[in-house]
Structure formats: structure tokens, C-alpha cells
Amino acid sequence: MNEIIPLAIAGDGPHSRALAAHAAPLGRFSIRSDWHDKEVRAVLVLTAPPERTELVIAALRAGRVVLCSPPAALDAVALERIAAAREEGGGKLIIGGEVAYTEAGARAIEAILAPEFGVLRSLYVAIRQPRVRSGGDVLHDLGWEALDFVLSVTQTRLRRVHATAAALFGGAAQDTIVILMRSADDVVITMELSRCLPDTLPAAGLGEVEVEAIGARQSVRLEPHATSIRICRDSGVSVAPWLDAPVLRMLRAVAAAADGALPDDPLPRQRDALAAMTAIRASIGAAEAVAVEQYHSGKNRDPVVRS
């Protein structure tokens, strides 16, 4: 226990840099450049799908502790390949949703799931990013994160969904989507994802995340700035994501798994998210709500690939 864990990070980007910056000073990890190194026990997979999926499968098959962002895979067949690789190699899989691993997001989940919160009555989740006219499909780019949080909170499958989406801010891809959902236990969920923020409302990283959960006895509200640091200068305001908290939580989860703890199995939620994502996409512009249950089969996939 508490020995140094050889760790490899696959992928480059803000999260990779933050993870690398925090891993060594924690005193639990030694960073290796190649995850194939036989001594490596944990792999942080920070590439985008479908490369992410193949790396996850290979690392699990090699018996590593693997942490990746949602989604682990974009289709049900690939999810089952991940399950098989984990079974075959004895690896452990952790899905590190940024919202769920942010201090405020994690505390929100804890509060909502606590008995004193009472029955969840309604949930509002919004992620807003700056306008990027060349940006990709907003549902694909932000929907997995939002769904990961929603499903963490509801702890049930979704029953039905309906989405309204459009390209509102000048690009070709849909930059805004409003999704109304109902969970299997009748919680109404409103999810809004948009690249709508002007330059004067800077939001770094994942963007502004706003959450409001109303329960029978308590409520939780996560303000947009709870996940970022605002720096105000005479020349204007800049915002930096507060990456420390999610990164440290993720690293602690990886260390615990490497020490022998068995993380919660994330694949059931990944399957639910995939079915929900497929239903949401089918519901865009539909004349009525779409039942999610029909997409809990083996052939679903999100057809949009990150641009």
C-alpha cells in the first residue's frame, strides 16, 4: 500500500498537462512516457474517441487501472469490447467526468444522493461555452459530460427525451441544444448545452457549468463560477478553469484502484448514456418525445464524430 504507482498519460491537452503537473507532487505516482512499459500500473487516457476506446481496451487487456473521460466508446459494440477486455485482462476502469469530479460538482452529487435531500424533483444542468464558429456538434462535444453528471445524480435510466437544437451563432454545426428529459422515476431534467457566450463572458475549460437540483427537502444550486477562477483586471476579465479539484480527485481515484480498491463499475452508466444520447439525437426536431428504452440494445452509436 502507498507505494509509488508508475503512471502513463496518453493524450495532450489541458487535462493531460494538469494531471501530469499534479501527479508527481502528490508523491504517489512516477510518470512514464510509454504506457506499454511493463511497470506501468495506471493509464490516464485523454485522447478523443475512437482512439480513446482502442487505448482503453488495450490498457484494460494489459491489466492496467484506466481512467478516461466520458464517453469510453461511441457505440454499444465498443462498450462490450471494453467490458470483455476488462474481464480478460483484469484491469479496472474509471470514467472521470469533469463536472462530477470538480469539487462543487462532486459535493453536489453527494448532497443530492444524501438521504436528507429527499426525493429528487427536478434537475437543471447547463454547460455554456464561448462561441466557436468552427466548433463541432455541441451535443456530441458537451452532451457526454452533461449526461454523465445527470445519470450520476438520477441513478436511474432516462424514460423519454425531446430536444430542440439549432445553429444559432453563425457556424454550420448545431451550437445550441435544449433537451427536456424524464427519468424512469419521473424526475424532469432540463439540459442546455450551448456555445453562446460572447468574448466578454469568458469561460475557460469545459465552460460555465450551472446545476440546480430541487429535492423534496433540500435543494442544491451550483453557480457557473463555482468551477472556475475569475481574474478581473483593468483590461478585462479572464477566467481559468479550476482544474485542480477534478484532477486531484481523479488521481486519488486512480491511486485507490491501484492500491486494490474496486471502483464502481462505470459501464452500466455508459450504456445508459449511450442509449440516452442516441434517443436525444433521434428526438431533435421530432414531433413527440422519444422513448429511451428502445435504444437499450446492442447496435446504438452516436453517429457524429468530434470535428
Partner 1 sequence: MQRVKLGLIGCGGIARSAHLPAVAHLVDRVELVATADVDEAAAAAAAEPWRAAHFADYRAVLARVDIEAVVIATPEYLHCEQVEAAAAAGKHILCEKPMAQSLPEADRMIAAAAHAGVHLLIGHSRRFTRRYMEIRAALDRGDIGALRLMRENERRPRMKTDQIWWTPKHWTGDPNVSQGAAMPNAIHEADLLRWFSGGEAQSVYAESAITIAGNAGVPNFLSLTVTFTNGAIGSAEVSNCAPPGYPAFHQMELYGTDGAIRAKDHELIGLTRFTGDGADFPGSFEILLHNKTAYVRELAELVAAIGEDRPVCMPPSEARAALAIALAAQESARTQRVIELSGASV
Give the binding site for partner 1 (CB under 8 A): 118, 121-122, 124, 126, 160, 162, 164, 166, 168-170, 176, 178, 180-182, 186-188, 190, 192, 194, 196-198, 200-201, 212, 214-219, 221, 286-289
As a whole number of angstroms, the distance between CA 180 and CA 59 comes to: 37
Could you tell me if 13 and 20 are in contact, meaning their C-beta atoms sit under 8 angstroms apart?
A: no
Q: How far is the CB of 172 from partner 1 (least distance, A)?
A: 15
Smallest distance, Å, CB 136 to partner 1?
A: 18
Cβ distance to partner 1 smaller for residue 88 or 186: 186
Grid cell 463499475 is found at 265
Q: Do 270 and 264 form a contact (C-beta atoms < 8 A)?
A: no
User: Buried (b) or exposed (e) across 163-176, using 16+ Cβ within 10 A?
Assistant: bebebebebebbbb
Q: Is 98 helix (H, G, I), strand (E, B) or coil?
A: helix
Question: Least distance from C-beta 288 to partner 1, angstroms?
Answer: 4
Among candidate residues 233, 209, 89, 76, the one with its CA nearest the CA of residue 149: 209
Closest CB to partner 1 among residues 106, 180:
180
191 φ, ψ to 5°?
-125, 125
Residue 58 and residue 108: Cα distance in Å, rounded? 34
Residue with cell 440546480: 212
- For partner 1, give the closer residue by CB, 221 or 252: 221
Smallest separation, CB 201 to partner 1 (Å): 6
Residue at 56: amino acid letter: V
Paired sense of beta strands 219-222 and 228-233, if any: unpaired
> From the CB of 126, what's the least distance to partner 1, in Å?
8
Q: What is the DSSP string of 106-156?
A: HHHHHHHHSGGG-SEEEEEEEEEEE--TT---HHHHHHHHHHHHHHHHH-S
Nearer to partner 1, 83 or 158 (CB): 158
* DSSP H or E segment with residue 103: helix 103-113
Q: How far is the CB of 300 from partner 1 (least distance, A)?
A: 21
Complex with partner 1: residue 168 or 305, whichever CB lies closer? 168
Among residues 36 and 221, whose Cβ is nearest to partner 1?
221
Judged by CB, which is closer to partner 1: 86, or 162? 162
Query: Least separation, in Å, of the C-beta of 176 and partner 1?
Result: 6
Q: Residue 84 or residue 168: which is nearer to partner 1 going by CB?
A: 168
- What is the C-alpha to C-alpha distance for residues 271 and 72, in angstroms, rounded to an integer? 10
What angle (nearest 5°) sits at the alpha carbon of residue 149, between those of residues 170 and 133?
Answer: 10
What is the nearest approach in angstroms of partner 1 to the Cβ of residue 297?
Answer: 22
